[in-house]
Structures are given as C-alpha cells and as structure tokens.
Structure 1
Amino acid sequence: MKRYILEVRHLKVMMTLLTDSSKNIQISAFHIFKVFVANPNKPREVKLILAKNHERLLELLQNLSVGKGSEDEQFEEEKELIMKEIQRLSSLPILDR
C-alpha cells in the first residue's frame, strides 16, 4: 500500500472514481483516496495534484455521504479531516501551480 499511494497515476484513478455514478464505487474510492491525502510523506507530485484540483475535490467530497447511522458519523468525521488537509495543501505557497 505504501508504494501504491506514492504514485500519481493511482491517485488520478481514485479521483476519477469519486465521480462515478455508483454511490458504492464513490464510497470505496473515498476510502482509498483518503489514504493518499492523509499520508504525511506525500510526494510533491501528489501534493500538486491535490492542490491544483482542490476546488473540484472539495465540492465532490462535500456532496458525498453514506447515510447509514453510526457509519455516517465516522465517515463525516473522516471526510472533514480530508477536506481540511486538501484546503491546507491548496494554501501552501511552496507549491508552484
């Protein structure tokens, strides 16, 4: 998994799957996508992709929900943390966009 989350091509696949018409695929993609975002040792390329696409990603995540009671609460907490990290990355001056 460590090698997987270091490659931009895998991140791009997960970002595409977040837009899938199937809610189940979106949720599954989110659970992998969050590992890319939460990784404290993200490669510069991953940071750049997240920063460049932050507006669209935040919009997608805002509209994503599981709607299943207690699962929903944990999902929403994770989603909020991921959104905050994406916002933080988008404001970093060191990233040449």
Structure 2
Amino acid sequence: VMTKYISNPDNLKLMMNMLKEKSRNIQFEAFHVFKVFVANPNKPKPILDILLRNQEKLIDFLTKFHTDRSEDEQFNDEKAYLIKQIKELKPAAEQ
C-alpha cells in the first residue's frame, strides 16, 4: 500500500502543499510522509521529475523548515538527510 501511495505524483504534490500549511502540526506530519517519497530508492520517473523540477526550492524550503526544533535531534537528522538526498538527485538514465 505504501509503495503504491509513494508512486503517485498527485500524492507527492499534496504532501508538498501540506508542508506549507498554516498549521505547524500538519506541516510536521506532512514532512514525515514527504520523507518517504524522497528516501525511496526506486522513485518512479514522474516522482523524480517533480523532485528535480523543484530541487532548488525544496532545498531552500527545507533549510528554513521548523528551525526552532533545535532540540529534536531525530528531526534535524532526517531533515539534513532529506536535503542531502535532494541535492544529489539526478535525472533517470533514459532506457
């Protein structure tokens, strides 16, 4: 079920929009779902394309995302990992 969910570009777009919600709780929960899209080693091309198209904006956004959570080591580790993963994204090799 999770693999199917993270293969759908509409779900990725929804999570990216929810990261910008007014509610910090919704932002935080959306972050946890968004990280599964990014961490997936077998991203379908449509997912990879969206992440690549928004690469710079995502890096900038995540760098400033919930910076007040300095005590939350796990969150900060995950955020740093996501930023690293997004920076290292490359277009899929054409088959």
TM-score normalised by structure 1 residue count: 0.86
- Residue 60, structure 1, aligned to residue 61, structure 2: yes
The unaligned stretches of length 5 or more in structure 2 are none
1:35 is paired with a residue of what secondary structure? helix
Runs of 4+ in 1 over 6 A off after TM superposition: none
Counterparts of 2:6 and 2:29, CA distance in 1: 15
Count how many residue pairs are aligned between Structure 1 and Structure 2.
92
Matches within 5 A, 1:34-53: 34-53=35-54
Q: What amino acid sits opposite 1:67 in the alignment? A: R
Relative to structure 1, the CA distance from residue 14 to residue 95 in structure 2 (aligned partners, 3 Å threshold; closer, same or farther) is farther
The unaligned stretches of length 5 or more in structure 1 are none
Q: CA deviation at 1:93?
A: 5.2
Q: CA deviation at 1:57?
A: 1.0
Q: Which residue does 1:4 correspond to in 2? A: 5
Q: CA deviation at 1:95?
A: 7.0
